[in-house]
């Protein structure tokens, strides 16, 4: 399924994701997912957080529980069930994602820090009912190591987590990604201004 998703993306975007360590002037949508395992990932939960405050969060009820690695069983699964109405099937998730993207005022550039997140999003969006991504699904923007390991990024990201919203909950992680990127981007704007 992920191979087919990657092929559909190639048709829409024509190349690999852009590097996140560049200046971007467009609406950004921050993505995070939780999944069963790195070897054969099956999507468990997904979150999208836009710059204008819109949020999407869903948890699949039909993921392959027997495929979960020990970390997921011990850390990720106990965090599920915190958002009312988030539970849905794979097919319901496709519908919800298409509806959410249709409500965006403009195409959103999808920002992520792990390539698998992007592939899982596209696999969740595409299928027999939907053979192409929504119009408002913008280009992918992968945040490289320079961004996500910058002290300003890390500090802002870590400051968003709370006891109620800890790491490894997709919605908490997407919010943290947004906070980290915004803080890093603010610092980088000063540098870009000097470089002009």
The reply to whether 96 falls in a domain is yes
The reply to whether 159 falls in a domain is no
pLDDT digits (tens, 9 = 90+) for 113-159: 999 999 999 999 998 888 889 989 999 999 988 889 999 999 999 99
Domain count, the chain: 1
pLDDT digits (tens, 9 = 90+) for 63-117: 999 999 999 999 999 999 999 999 999 999 999 999 999 999 999 999 999 999 9
User: Cβ(68)–Cβ(37) under 8 Å?
Assistant: yes
The reply to whether 192 falls in a domain is no
10 Å Cβ neighbour count for 17?
A: 18
10 Å Cβ neighbour count for 70?
A: 8
The reply to whether 78 falls in a domain is yes
In sequence order, what are the residues at sequence separation of 6 or more whose Cβ sits closer than 8 angstroms to the Cβ of residue 19?
142, 144
> pTM score, two decimals?
0.87
Query: Which of 18-27, 59-68, 161-170, 183-192 has the weakest average pLDDT?
Result: 18-27
User: Which CATH number fits the domain that encloses residue 27?
Assistant: 3.30.420.10
pLDDT digits (tens, 9 = 90+) for 18-45: 445 455 557 999 999 999 999 999 999 9
The reply to whether 110 falls in a domain is yes
The reply to whether 195 falls in a domain is no
The reply to whether 185 falls in a domain is no
The reply to whether 131 falls in a domain is yes
The whole domain housing 125 covers 2-144
């Amino acid at each position: 399924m992920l191979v087919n998703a990657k092929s559909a993306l190639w048709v829409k975007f024509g190349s690999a994701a852009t590097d996140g360590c560049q200046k971007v002037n467009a609406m950004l949508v921050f993505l995070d997912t939780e999944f069963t395992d790195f070897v054969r990932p099956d999507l468990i939960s997904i979150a999208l957080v836009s710059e204008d405050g819109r949020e999407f969060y869903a948890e699949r009820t039909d993921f392959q529980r027997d495929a979960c690695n020990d970390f997921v069983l011990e850390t990720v699964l106990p965090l599920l069930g915190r958002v009312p109405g988030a539970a849905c099937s794979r097919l319901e998730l496709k519908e919800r994602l298409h509806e959410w993207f249709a409500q965006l005022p403009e195409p959103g550039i999808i920002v992520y820090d792990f390539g698998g997140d992007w592939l899982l999003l596209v696999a969740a969006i595409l299928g027999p009912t939907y053979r192409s991504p929504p119009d408002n699904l913008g280009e992918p923007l992968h945040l490289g190591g320079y961004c996500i390991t910058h002290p300003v990024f890390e500090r802002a990201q870590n400051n968003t987590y709370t006891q109620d919203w800890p790491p490894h909950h997709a919605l908490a992680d997407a919010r943290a990604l947004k906070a980290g990127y915004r803080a890093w981007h603010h610092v980088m704007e000063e540098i870009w201004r000097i470089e002009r």
